[in-house]
Amino acid sequence: MATTRRPGGRSARVQAAVHRAVTELVVERGADQVTIPAVAERAEVNPTTVYRRWGSIPALLAEVAIVAEGGAPAPTGDLRADLADFAEWTLADLARPGGIAFFRAEVAADVDDRRAGLRECLKRTSATIEALLDRAREAGHEPPTLAEVMDRVVAPLYFRVVFSVPGTDAAYARHLAHAVSGKPESR
């Protein structure tokens, strides 16, 4: 029997409605209080649709985290500016409503192996930073290493957002980036 595709992009509309419902519920209740029946009700779809497509809340949260993350700013070759833009973008992504909950869901151990949780998150982050560093090299800069950017920009931002450290703002993120680029700016 041949399968037929549903006309009109129903699948895309269902996905968008489910993603929106998940985001709203995570912000309202926290990720640990999100259930498939609640998502289905909010998205106005049958719970079976959600179970069939995503299988579990961790898998659904991980997908929404990746989609919501969006894209980092494109590197221009200006090392100082690119690192600062990346740091500010990273902070904004983490600090968005539900940002930490989505990050936790994305890297959770119980997300099926196809998503590869931690490995995929690290791989995406590393690729973004490497593209920025490669572009800086092409422009004649001597950029820091990937490890230096991870240790001196990414890790402090994650730590400070997770623990709600006061003063973790765009200026702080840019300061970290400027310090690792070799041209610190006073705070």
Helix (H), strand (E) at residue 164: none
What is the spatial distance between Cα 45 and Cα 93, in angstroms, rounded to a whole number? 28
Reduce the DSSP state of residue 93 to 3 states and report it.
helix
pLDDT at 82 over 50: yes
pLDDT band at 136 (very low <50, low <70, confident <90, very high): very high
Mean pLDDT of the chain: 84
With a cut of 50, say whether residue 176 has pLDDT above it. yes
pLDDT band at 8 (very low <50, low <70, confident <90, very high): very low
Residue 151 has pLDDT above 70, yes or no: yes
What's at 14, amino acid-wise? V
Write out pLDDT tens, residues 83-94.
999 999 999 988
- pLDDT classification of 68: cutoffs 50, 70, 90: low
Nearest CA-CA partner of 105 in 90, 96, 93, 115:
115
Is 164 within 8 Å of 147 (Cβ atoms)?
Answer: no
Residues 6+ apart with CB under 8 A from 70: 93
Residues 84, 73 contacting (CB under 8 angstroms) = no
Per-residue pLDDT at 69: 61
The three-point CA angle 51-57-60 to 5° equals: 80
Q: 């590393």: which residue's tokens? A: 126
Structural domains in the chain, CATH included, are 10-55 (1.10.10.60), 69-180 (1.10.357.10)
**Residue whose entry in the numeric block shows the structure tokens 């690192």:** 83
Indicate whether 144 pLDDT > 90: yes
* Cα–Cα distance for residue pair 169/154, rounded to 1 Å: 13
Residue 115 has a pLDDT of 47
Predicted local distance difference test score (pLDDT) of residue 48: 95
Separation between Cα atoms, residue 158 and residue 136, nearest integer Å: 24
